[in-house]
Amino acid sequence: MALTGDMIIGRALVRGSGGEQLAYNPATRAEFAPGFGQATGEDVERACQLAADAFDPYRSLPLEQRARFLEAVAEQILAIGPDLIERAGLETGLPAARLEGERMRTVNQLRLFAKVVRDGHFLGATVDSALPDRTPPRPSLRLAKIGLGPVAVFGASNFPLAFSVAGGDTASALAAGCPVVVKAHGAHLGTSELVGRAVQRAAIETGMPEGVFSMLFGDGRTIGQQLVAHPAIKAVGFTGSRAGGTALMRTAAARAEPIPVYAEMSSVNPVFLLPAALENNAGLAQGFVDSLTLGVGQFCTNPGLVFAVDGPALDAFMASAKAALAGKGAGTMLTAGIHDAYGSGIARLGASAGLRLVAQGSLDGIGCAAQAALYECVAGDFLANPELQDEVFGPCALVVRFDSAEQMLAAAGQLHGQLTATVHVQEADYPLAAQLLPILERKAGRVLFNGFPTGVEVSHAMVHGGPFPATSDSRTTSVGATAIDRFLRPVCYQNLPDVLLPQALRDDNPLRLARIFDGELKTAG
């Protein structure tokens, strides 16, 4: 499929007149054609107005039609074929196998949300029957959830498909009945155009209102801010840096009508190596290094911090980790900006008092190649420097040596909010793990035992969120079926005639939903 560099606004392909940006190959540090036209304020206005016009017609469609739209998007993405993998590889430096896996994750997310829509449980249908003989009488009260309204979605730099144009934020917003305006990431312009056109084709094929989807190119500090500030936008989905997420949060809060920003930002994903596990698990260091360097450390769940009690077992772990890391070659980072920020982060750690460089991977790459690094320090130096909790985005980790388990527990209580927290245990560690677990429940959205945090399953139970600064709202997740809840709000209908009620709340239950009826769960039968 030939790329044109055009944006997508409703059913139209629109050439942005706000300048031009070329795509960039991080492996060669070279730009390449075609140029992609950048949006203007007028383009933002058009996309947002179309989304506002589409909201009521779109959310009123039968659930089956909404689900079919999501499935059609998945089918259209697959239909692009190898062109999508080739283009994404040029723009990211990621290997084909990784991109093929990410494409299937994107497709599976869309299919999961199609199932969520068909099930109808997300509506939260609840009926409290009228009780006219009660004193005082109770009116008929019925509750169902509706979409918030048009959603602005920002593509992420580290996932050109799964957290991008048709990624989890877009899929969950569309599933909730919300039109979407995407601000495509400048790091994968051609990939975004290919996927954006796939969404557009699916929308036309399934009879969606014109403004259900648009995609703009442009700088986040201008076009992105204009998008968040537009009164038609009612929520924001963002994955990126803490600075970028908090900037959008300020804009959203300063509006005449403040709106929620669901931002996934910064996490170092601490790993706790409890004594028995550290003593008896010979493969622990290799598993850690494999997770640390996966995808050149550019996963938001990358294990960047390790806590363990000092002693011979930790010395052995560090020696094994050093050997494992020495065998890891350099990898291409996604953008020049990410590569430069990683270099600055490594330099900052290297200049920090008390830190010692333990091991580095080989540096045999070109372009935006990154060398893995492993540092260590003692607990006192870690606790004295809060900046050591700041994320270094890339294949870098810090191991902290504690004098005792009690000191490690106290330090765990001082951690910032995290996406994940990992604990390696054996049965002898269970009493200590029982003390640690309540602390980690307060700190992280996902607590995992005897594994590593890279790899986020797309499922009903997954939580990819956590307290600030991991995200802007610890009550939500950006992955998994409950991601739809971010873009919904409840509405109570009092004494409405049955014919005017949403189908989910009508007496004959035409959607065959399980509902809460007078305080009890009633199945569709």
Q: Active-site residues: which are they?
A: 264, 300
CB 334 within 8 A of CB 342: no
> Cβ–Cβ contacts within 10 Å for residue 439, how many?
19
> Which among 149, 178, 144 has a CA at the least distance from the CA of 491?
144
Which are the contacts of 324, defined by CB distance < 8 A and separation ≥ 6? 285, 286, 289, 290
CA dist 272 and 290 (Å) reads: 17
> Cβ–Cβ contacts within 10 Å for residue 1, how many?
14
> Cβ–Cβ contacts within 10 Å for residue 108, how many?
16
Computed from CA positions of residues 250, 255, 260, 263, in that sequence, does the dihedral angle turn out positive or negative? Answer: negative
DSSP letter string, 414-444: TPPPEEEEEEE--GGGHHHHHHHHHHHHHHE
Burial class from Cβ neighbours inside 10 Å (0-12, 13-18, 19+) for residue 149 reads buried
Q: Which helix (H) or strand (E) holds 243?
A: helix 242-254
Amino acid letter for position 516: I
CA dist 488 and 211 (Å) reads: 19
Name the one residue in this structure whose structure tokens are 């050093």.
Answer: 322
Length of the chain: 525
Which are the contacts of 58, defined by CB distance < 8 A and separation ≥ 6? 66, 177, 178, 179, 208, 209, 212
Q: Are strands 305-309 and 396-402 parallel, antiparallel or unpaired?
A: parallel
Amino acid letter for position 137: P
Residue environment code for 209-247, b if the CB has 16+ CB neighbours within 10 A, otherwise e: bbbbbbbbbbebeebbbbbbbbebbbbbbbbbbbebbbb
CB 463 within 8 A of CB 441: no
Q: What is the DSSP letter of 413?
A: T
Which are the contacts of 347, defined by CB distance < 8 A and separation ≥ 6? none
CA dist 65 and 205 (Å) reads: 11
